[in-house]
Structure formats: structure tokens, C-alpha cells
Amino acid sequence: MEKKLFKVVITAIVVKDGRFLILRRSPHEKKFPGKWTVPGGKLTTADYVGLPKDTPDYWYNVLEHTLKREVKEEAGIGIKNIRYVTSLADANENDDPSLVISCLADFEKGDIALDDSMSDYAWVSLDEAKSVDLIGGIYEELEMAEKTLRGEERGEWKK
């Protein structure tokens, strides 16, 4: 089997006043057109190589910087207090495999301004999210985020 490098993707379950930000993917998007999701995107070397290293050998907080950039690009807002929720991987035959790191983040500032990859947005409660056409697995991630917000043990992702 041919070895492929993973794309690293990071997503944010953004919470504001107890509600979660969801975005609807534009109908022209190749993957999951018209489905609802949370903001996020791919890590690129441009996210860190132009910055000074934090130690003689390493850059730190590269995922956090990437997530802040992606949320700003897709939704126009700032986030803070980023924390881990879960991870997933895919390996589609016609694409490089992806490692997706899902995080919870607090809304910090700004007004929603969508880029052309998204066509709509909503702030939803966990209960309201049940009736939305979310990409598979995201509802369960929202459940995990809700548990984190309530100070409960979130456990691992499960359906």
C-alpha cells in the first residue's frame, strides 16, 4: 500500500452565550456541499515558517494559530480559550488522508462575515442542532463540547 502524508485539519466548536456556531457549506464545495459544519481548515507550513521560533528548534501553538486564522477567514470572528475535544481520521481513495483535530473555543469578538466557502450560519443550542443537516459525527462532537462546558467528563467520541 502506498504511504501518503496526512493533511492536518483543525476545527472549532465556537460557543457564545451557551450556543454553538454552525456554518453551511456552499453548494459549490467539493466535499459535503450544502451540509452544516463548524469552522476550521488545514494547517499549512505558511502558518508558522514565517514566524520566529519559540525555542531554537520549534514553533509552538501552531494549531491554535491555524484555528484562529481559519475561523477568522470562514466566519469573520475571533476566538479564545481553545481546548481539545476529539480527533478523527479519514482515508478516501482519491484523496490524501486527513487527521482532524476538533476543539472547543469561546467567541471573543467580531461580527459574522462568511467567506465564499460558506453560505449561511446559525447559533444553535444542542437541542436545535439535532434538526440540522450536519456532517456526520459533528452532533456527537457538540454533545462532547456541551459536557465540557457543564464541567462533566466528556469521554471519548461515540455514536
Residue 67, SS3?
helix
Q: What is the pLDDT of residue 91?
A: 85
What are 102's strand-pairing partners?
A: 11, 86
Task: Grade residue 1 by pLDDT with cuts at 50, 70 and 90.
Answer: low
| Residue 29 near residue 117 (C-beta atoms within 8 A) | yes
- The 10s digit of each residue's pLDDT in 29-79 is 988 999 999 999 999 999 899 899 999 999 999 999 999 999 999 999 999
On whether the CB atoms of residues 69 and 115 are closer than 8 A, the answer is no
Question: Would you give the DSSP letter of residue 134?
Answer: B
Q: Convert the pLDDT of each residue in 92-143 to its tens digit.
A: 877 788 999 999 999 999 999 999 999 999 999 999 999 999 999 999 999 9
Residue 145 has pLDDT above 70, yes or no: yes
Q: What pTM was computed for the model?
A: 0.93
- The hierarchical CATH code for the domain 7-149 is 3.90.79.10
Domain borders along the chain are: 7-149
Strands (E), 59-149: 78-90, 98-109, 118-124
